[in-house]
Amino acid sequence: MATSEPRNIADISPPSDLPNHADFVIIGGGIIGLAVARQLLLSDERRSVAVLEKESTIATHQTGRSSGVVHAGIYYRPGSQKAELTRRSVGMLREYVETHGLPYIECGKLVIAASESEVPLLRDLEHRATANGVPGLEVVDRAGIERREPAAVGHLAIWSPTTAITDFVAIAERIALDVTTAGGMVISDAEVVDIAQSATKVGVVVGTERRLITAGVAVVCAGVQSDRLAVLAGDSAEPAVVPFRGEYLRLAAAKTELVRGLIYPVPDPNYPFLGVHLTRTVHGDVLVGPNAVLAFARDGYRWRDIEISHLRDLAGTAGFRHLAADHWRRGVVESWRSVNKRAYVRDVQRYVPGVAASDLVRARAGVRAQAVDRSGKLIDDFLVGRKERVVTVRNAPSPGATAALALAEDIAANAAAAI
């Protein structure tokens, strides 16, 4: 395990420091926007780069609310962007955290088929993982499961020894420091409210005072807000981003010894979510989750967060109407599990029976930015689009934090080609 040292935090500028112009304006200070800014400066330090973040600090949305898992590349369709960029990024990420003394623990992961009926799906995952070049994989039986995770049970499991845990907020903060050290700007409280483009430049409008910044190229890395900003820039409303809340429970301190590393179920192949899992974090606690319930607001971290304009926009897209018609049953089940802790825990007890509802307290939630195509299909792969001088990250859900450094290389090359 690498040790943590006192963090160097980037000097994040207030909105009063907005420049009039930057070669590249990056909208969104999550791990992907920051990594794109860093990559643009690494490739050519003469560029002027400004990251605009609407919140008062960086990495507060998806990046700050993840499970903290450095995925090894098990699940993804061979040849997909997720498969290629995850495998490419793991090595880059590892080197990055080692260089900067950030936490990285290779605790390993079990993906458990709880019953014989799940074994064919587990075998499919094994084939994918092997094709993707995930190192050190083993298929283990009951005894092998118990040897690695004494509190876990199951029929058969994939053991991935190189799957790791880290602190993506600390990584994002360090990347922000790289950006400012290289002469770029990271500006907080700078919400982009409009975008316009001509043949030679992009106009980015910030805040209620409507301050204008001109840019050669704008890169939208705005998570759940990305499709909305793409529309402002003259791009299409679809694929739409549908926010799916993922709620976590935390295991009581007295029970954390039940979990040594990462314990996952076999995921439902019809959804791009990994199923409720048990995750040890680098801070020493154990999280259980996340589930996947439709959020009624883009930053809808609680059931009571409801944004009527967002629901109206969603209902106006063909993709969402198809999604709702095709998947409402699953939606009802997930919502039931969300409000009923016992139902949530019953799922977990299939592979870690020693966890009781009384051992768990509600913890934080995250909201995934999940793109849906016109037919209502949840888009599985990463998706980056470009409309003239505006590049938009349309879909970068999990393992987006793991893949951020490699994904940023591709996005930065795309943006540089548009200037």
Ligand X SMILES: Cc1cc2nc3c(=O)[nH]c(=O)nc-3n(C[C@H](O)[C@H](O)[C@H](O)COP(=O)(O)OP(=O)(O)OC[C@H]3O[C@@H](n4cnc5c(N)ncnc54)[C@H](O)[C@@H]3O)c2cc1C
Give the three-class secondary structure for 23: strand
Q: Is 223 in the site for ligand X (CB under 6 A)?
A: yes
399, 408, 409, 411: which one binds ligand X (CB under 6 A): 399
Q: Is 195 in the site for ligand X (CB under 6 A)?
A: no
Q: Is 216 in the site for ligand X (CB under 6 A)?
A: no
In the complex with ligand X, which residue's Cβ is closer, 216 or 290? Answer: 290
Nearer to ligand X, 36 or 112 (CB): 36
In 3D, which of 33, 49, 108 has the Cα closest to residue 401?
Answer: 33
Looking at 400, 405, 408, 412, which residue binds ligand X (CB under 6 A)? 400
d(CA 132, CA 136): 12
Binding of residue 368 to ligand X (CB under 6 A): yes
Q: Is there binding between residue 108 and ligand X (CB under 6 A)?
A: no
Which of residues 156 and 197 has its CB atom nearest to ligand X in the complex? 197
**Cα(38)–Cα(181) distance, integer angstroms:** 10
By CB under 6 A, tell whether 239 contacts ligand X. Answer: no
User: Residue 257 contacts by C-beta under 8 Å, 6 or more apart in sequence?
Assistant: none
Sole binder of ligand X in the list 15, 33, 73, 154 (CB under 6 A): 33
- Indicate the residue type of 146: E
Q: Does the protein bind ligand X through residue 15 (CB under 6 A)?
A: no
Q: Within 36-55, which residues bind ligand X (CB under 6 A)?
A: 52-55
161 three-state secondary structure:
coil
> Which residue in 12, 24, 28, 178 binds ligand X (CB under 6 A)?
28
Distances (CA, A) of 46 to 49, 201, 208: 9, 18, 31
Nearest to 172 by CA among 223, 242, 224: 223
70: closest CA among 99, 90, 95? Answer: 90
Cβ-in-10-Å burial (0-12, 13-18, 19+) of 161 comes to middle
Q: Rounded to the nearest whole angstrom, what is the least distance from the CB of residue 46 to ligand X in the complex?
A: 25
Give the distance from CA 278 to its chain's centroid.
17
- Considering the complex, what minimum distance in angstroms separates the CB of residue 142 from ligand X? 27
63 binds ligand X (CB under 6 A): yes
Among 188, 225, 370, 392, binds ligand X (CB under 6 A): 225
Which range, of 22-30, 114-122, 127-135, 260-268, touches ligand X by CB under 6 A?
22-30
Nearest to 34 by CA among 185, 220, 213, 172: 172
**CA-based nearest residue to 222, from 298, 322, 111:** 298
Residues that bind ligand X (CB under 6 A): 27-33, 52-55, 60-63, 65-69, 71, 191-192, 221-223, 225, 229, 246, 290, 366-368, 393, 396-402
